Chain A
Amino acid sequence: GESVGLHLPTLSVQEGDNSIINCAYSNSASDYFIWYKQESGKGPQFIIDIRSNMDKRQGQRVTVLLNKTVKHLSLQIAATQPGDSAVYFCAERGYNKLIFGAGTRLAVHP
């Protein structure tokens, strides 16, 4: 079946460094991907999305890269801040539903 997974369950970074969170997916037919941030006690918050006809998309301090050859997705956060500490999920959107990856916890240290 379809699956979306993450390589690292926990990522610790120093404040000001860049963070890279990775995600692998197995369905080569997936055509749309979303990154969500979830803070403790809150619902998932949309960060950025990318369609399969794109390789890269940039937002404010965030960049998503898509490598369809190896079915890999990454989220880059520039100049990581304490407020970036959260769990990050990649999600593959199929027909009318989202499939979430396992999640990566990002811990930002001063």
Chain B
Amino acid sequence: DTEVTQTPKHLVMGMTNKKSLKCEQHMGHRAMYWYKQKAKKPPELMFVYSYEKLSINESVPSRFSPECPNSSLLNLHLHALQPEDSALYLCASGGGRVSGYTFGSGTRLTVV
């Protein structure tokens, strides 16, 4: 069982839709992350939140908008996505430099 919970597990959305991905962790980790993973590729970092503040944005298009309401929650708001944005979106949390990262099971997003 994962300690990082992502919802929904699957999402199909049109290019004009607005949707949100949600992530929750209760491990007390102070850093949370969004990764994007295309088929047969490694995860690619999108955003990093540290102590609820955005610390890294890996030049992600503005149609992806992250939000960290509190230390346990991380959202990714989606608007006007393109079919090429279809991927597995992974959330992770980490306790700091001396600990590893725990990943959720991901949200499989399909943009039609």
* Residue ranges of A at the interface with B (Cβ–Cβ < 8 Å): 34, 36, 41-46, 49, 89, 93, 95-103
Contact = CB atoms under 8 A, between A and B. Distances in A.
Q: Which secondary structure characterizes the binding site on chain A?
A: strand
Nearest to B103: A43
Given A34-B101, A49-B100, A95-B97, A44 B90 contact: yes
Given A44-B103, A98-B101, A100-B43, 20 more contacts: A34-B101, A42-B105, A42-B106, A43-B4, A43-B6, A43-B104, A43-B105, A44-B43, A93-B101, A96-B31, A96-B48, A96-B50, A96-B55, A96-B97, A97-B45, A97-B48, A98-B45, A102-B42, A103-B41, A103-B42
Contacts, number: 54
A26 to B, nearest CB: 15
B56 A34 contact: no
Interface residues of B, number: 26
A30 B55 CA distance: 20
Nearest to B42: A100
Given A34-B100, A44-B90, A103-B42, A97 B105 contact: no
